[in-house]
Amino acid sequence: MTTRRKKIYEGKAKILYEGPEPGTLIQYFKDDATAFNAQKKAILEGKGVINNRISEYVMTRLNSIGVQNHFIRRLNLREQLIKEVEIIPLEVVVRNVAAGSLSTRLGLAEGTALPRSIIEFYLKDDKLGDPMVAEEHITAFNWAATQEIDDMMAMALRVNDYLSGMFGAVGITLVDFKIEFGRVYEGDFSRVILADEISPDSCRLWDTATNEKLDKDRFRRDLGNVIESYTEVARRLGIMKEMPTVIQGGVH
């Protein structure tokens, strides 16, 4: 691990370091896994390597269809160069099938198809346990402007459409996912772009044929084979060739 660089921020699964030029950062993917607001913790050897690679792949494909995002290029097994953004303190969740907290909140059996895709906002605040918030709260407390909410929702639906097709093509159902956005400034104006990561840590991915979970719920629910499942997602996306040692747990 590189320690020469200045650390800007350390989260639960990633570290941000100062980048090589102004306006850039280095995003480092850790092997740490947490759930239930970090009450449950583990080190999953190789997770950071797989998520770095999957997130690179997803962000690159989204960029190719015009969904602007912070990804610039992957630097090595665990690091990628990204654009520095001002993170909007919201988690944007898109759901296609009932699962997780939606199932609990509304009493819907997991696996129930939703009548249409649903977007939800959660405030990024660990002390409060990331509470769900409405657009009213977001604008009243100035977490984001109305135009930014519209832009985030439009981008979230494009991401959902594209990724549903991308995963669907390899036999994986995109049940739901969480994304984050940030502002980039250009003179007096700012623009919202996709940030953070998109990986099995931040999505629910079910094998379409068997409904087997291939995502972080394997960790949250103690289902076992977490790394094997993440690796299977990478394998189906056709991006396994460059990381053969991960499965043996030999990568640090």
- Interstrand relation of 113-123 and 132-133 (parallel, antiparallel or unpaired): antiparallel
Binding segment (CB under 6 A) for ligand TMP, from list 2-10, 62-70, 72-80, 197-205: 197-205
DSSP alpha helix (H) spans, the chain: 47-64, 100-106, 135-140, 146-168, 217-220, 226-236
Is residue 164 involved in binding ligand TMP (CB under 6 A)?
no
Shortest Cβ 188–ligand TMP spacing (Å): 33
> In sequence order, what are the beta bridge partners of 82?
25, 71
Residue 176 interacting with ligand TMP (CB under 6 A): yes
Interface stretch with ligand TMP, choices 72-80, 154-162, 200-208, 228-236 (CB under 6 A): 200-208
Among 58, 85, 149, 203, binds ligand TMP (CB under 6 A): 203
Q: What is the largest CA-CA distance in the chain?
A: 51
Shortest Å, Cβ 213 to ligand TMP: 11
Give yes or no for residue 14 binding ligand TMP (CB under 6 A). no
Which of the stretches 38-46, 67-75, 95-103, 148-156 binds ligand TMP when contact is defined by CB under 6 A? 95-103
Contact status: 202 vs ligand TMP (CB under 6 A): yes
How far apart are CB 35 and ligand TMP at their closest, in Å? Answer: 8
Listed in sequence order, the residues at least 6 apart from 178 whose beta carbon sits closer than 8 Å to its beta carbon are 91, 92, 93, 202, 203
Is position 179 an interface residue for ligand TMP (rule: CB under 6 A)? no
Among 178, 199, 229, 246, binds ligand TMP (CB under 6 A): 178
Take residue 20 and report the two structure tokens written for it. Answer: 């090589």
105, 79 Cβ separation under 8 angstroms = no
Quick check: 196 binds ligand TMP (CB under 6 A)? no
Residue 54 to residue 214: CA distance in whole angstroms = 13
Q: Could you tell me the two tokens for 157?
A: 């639906």
Q: Give the C-alpha separation, 192 to 1, whole Å.
A: 31
Residue 129 or 171 having the CB closest to ligand TMP: 129
Q: For residues 72 and 23, what is the distance between their CA atoms, to the nearest angstrom?
A: 11
* Residue ranges in contact with ligand TMP by CB under 6 A: 93, 99-102, 130, 176-178, 202-204
